[in-house]
């Protein structure tokens, strides 16, 4: 339930299921719940286990008991190995789905470990679908391409400027170097400064690189502004997007960036890394600009080009909005999921007790053996909650 695209996906998907009178609930093995108000606003039940007070095995047991009370016919494991652990214990007849949101070798290795406990893999990009289908472990497992969907804004498109006012640039996401390559931002800023164009660059999000970026990304020119907004509530994102012209993403790997879909739906023109997974499916020359990974200056060059060609900016904006509205709405996403899932079976019997085994993906399984659990239970009682 950490802040990010996967949690937003759960909020969008579960909310749409409930709007269609299909019971849905979210179960988490950690206490973090940054989008609590957003889930509550869509009447989505969320059950969180507290990792500060209970060891993993006890949290998993509690979660499984809550699942048994809810009696789902489909269980979707989202993101982590710990969530995939729950699939080992659901009874026969429950349809087990594992989602893959990133074209990442490390995550593929984890997915392989749980192949025997999956009835279907949901891939958010065609690249991920092809990668998983190529793994021998999934020869007899259904692998479906199920891209994200996002809420559609009320207005048809973002009204980008046709004048020469400062271009409004947005980065929306975690301020981390791993994957997002945010350490490129000072280089991009320097190129924009040297170009002399007016701009207002907003960075929305938080992360470990934020202090260093704030120190490095300063501008004294009155028409070249950089603003750090910090962590934002998801409900405030649409209003922020409506005030921007360009969406910037410098990642070196992705699945299908949900923030990209949200931005394009509002009519922002994407200036993004040229990545095979997700990006190339959504962004082409008609609706945005893709930049080669080995050409960091290309992001600034694309922004300068859009500043000087406002007619092109407007055309790309309209096409970006149209593309997402046609294929990547929450409704379209939910239709795809429901078409991929089987009819609900009857007669599923949930056990009263669960015999929790050591974590499959654990580097040291002995740490999760029954004798060591008692020691860990004692130790956690003396650890003060953060």
Q: Is residue 218 part of a domain?
A: yes
Residues 156-168 have pLDDT tens digits of 555 555 566 899 9
pLDDT of residue 162: 53
pLDDT of residue 3: 67
Which of 310, 328, 346 is a domain's end point? 328
Distance between CA atoms of residues 294 and 272, nearest Å: 13
Which of 313, 328, 343 is a domain's end point? 328
Name the residue range of residue 362's domain: 5-149+333-381
pLDDT of residue 1: 77
Q: 257: Cβ–Cβ under 8 A, 6 or more apart, which residues?
A: 5, 173, 249, 251, 272, 278, 279
Question: Is 283 found in the same domain as 137?
Answer: no
Q: If 0-12 CB within 10 Å is exposed, 13-18 middle and 19+ buried, where does residue 379 land?
A: exposed
Provide the number of structural domains found in the chain.
2
Residue 217, classed as helix, strand or coil, is coil
Q: Is residue 83 part of a domain?
A: yes
Question: Is 205 found in the same domain as 134?
Answer: no
Q: What is the pLDDT along the chain (386 residues), one digit of tens a residue?
A: 776 788 899 999 999 999 999 999 999 999 988 889 889 999 999 999 999 999 999 999 999 999 999 999 999 999 788 999 999 999 999 999 999 988 888 889 999 999 999 999 999 999 999 999 999 999 999 999 999 999 887 765 555 555 668 999 999 998 999 889 999 999 999 999 999 999 999 999 999 999 999 999 998 899 999 999 998 888 888 999 999 999 999 999 888 888 999 999 999 999 999 999 889 999 999 999 999 999 999 999 999 999 999 999 999 999 999 999 989 999 999 999 999 999 988 889 999 999 999 999 888 888 888 889 999 999 998 875 55
pLDDT of residue 323: 93
Question: Is 318 found in the same domain as 178?
Answer: yes
Question: Is 75 found in the same domain as 56?
Answer: yes
Question: Is 238 found in the same domain as 117?
Answer: no
Q: Is residue 154 part of a domain?
A: no
Q: Is residue 189 part of a domain?
A: yes
Question: Is 262 found in the same domain as 233?
Answer: yes
Q: Is residue 159 part of a domain?
A: no
Question: Is 337 found in the same domain as 308?
Answer: no
CATH number at residue 20: 3.40.50.2000
Distance between CA atoms of residues 198 and 167, nearest Å: 7
Distance between CA atoms of residues 53 and 155, nearest Å: 46
pLDDT of residue 231: 86
Question: Is 15 found in the same domain as 94?
Answer: yes
Which of 292, 313, 328 is a domain's end point? 328
Q: Is residue 76 part of a domain?
A: yes
Count Cα neighbours of 81 within 13 Å in the Cβ-side half-sphere: 16
Question: Is 351 found in the same domain as 289?
Answer: no
Whether 283 and 171 have beta carbons less than 8 Å apart is answered as no
Q: Is residue 262 part of a domain?
A: yes
pLDDT of residue 161: 52
Question: Is 78 found in the same domain as 40?
Answer: yes
CA angle at 360 for the pair 356 and 363, rounded to the nearest 5°: 120
Question: Is 177 found in the same domain as 112?
Answer: no
Question: Is 184 found in the same domain as 272?
Answer: yes
Distance between CA atoms of residues 25 and 230, nearest Å: 29
Residues 37-46 have pLDDT tens digits of 889 999 999 9
pTM for this one? 0.84
């Amino acid at each position: 339930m950490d802040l990010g695209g996967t949690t937003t996906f759960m909020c969008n998907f579960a909310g749409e299921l409930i709007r269609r009178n299909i019971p849905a609930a979210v179960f988490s093995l950690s206490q973090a719940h940054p989008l609590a108000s957003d889930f509550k606003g869509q009447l989505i039940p969320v059950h969180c286990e507290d990792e500060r007070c209970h060891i993993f095995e006890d949290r998993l047991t509690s979660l499984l008991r809550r699942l048994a009370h809810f009696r789902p016919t489909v269980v979707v494991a989202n993101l982590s190995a710990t969530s995939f652990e729950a699939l080992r214990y659901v009874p026969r007849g429950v349809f087990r789905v594992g989602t893959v949101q990133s074209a990442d070798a490390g995550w593929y290795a984890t997915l392989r470990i749980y192949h025997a406990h999956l009835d279907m893999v949901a891939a958010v990009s065609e690249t991920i679908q092809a990668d998983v289908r190529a793994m021998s472990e999934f020869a007899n497992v259904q692998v479906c391409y199920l891209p994200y969907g996002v809420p559609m804004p009320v207005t048809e498109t973002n009204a980008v400027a046709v004048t020469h006012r400062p271009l409004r640039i947005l980065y929306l996401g975690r301020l981390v170097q791993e994957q997002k390559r945010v350490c490129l931002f000072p280089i991009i800023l320097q190129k924009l400064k040297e170009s002399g164009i007016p701009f207002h660059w907003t960075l929305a999000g938080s992360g470990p690189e934020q202090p260093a970026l704030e120190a490095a990304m300063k501008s004294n020119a009155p028409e070249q502004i950089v603003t750090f907004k910090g962590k934002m509530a998801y409900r405030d994102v649409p209003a922020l997007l409506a005030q921007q012209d360009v969406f910037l993403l410098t990642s070196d790997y992705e699945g299908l960036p949900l923030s990209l879909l949200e931005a394009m739906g509002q009519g922002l023109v994407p200036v993004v890394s040229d990545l095979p997974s997700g990006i190339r499916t959504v962004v082409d020359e008609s609706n945005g600009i893709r930049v080669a990974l080995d050409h960091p200056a290309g992001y600034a060059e694309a922004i300068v080009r859009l500043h000087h060609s406002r007619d092109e900016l407007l055309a790309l904006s309209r096409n970006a909005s149209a593309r997402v509205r046609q294929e990547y709405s929450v409704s379209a996403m939910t239709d795809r999921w429901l078409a991929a899932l089987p009819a609900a079976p009857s007669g599923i019997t949930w056990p009263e007790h669960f015999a929790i085994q050591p974590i499959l993906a654990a580097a040291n399984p002995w740490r999760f053996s029954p004798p060591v659990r008692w020691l860990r239970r004692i130790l956690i009682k003396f650890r003060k909650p953060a």
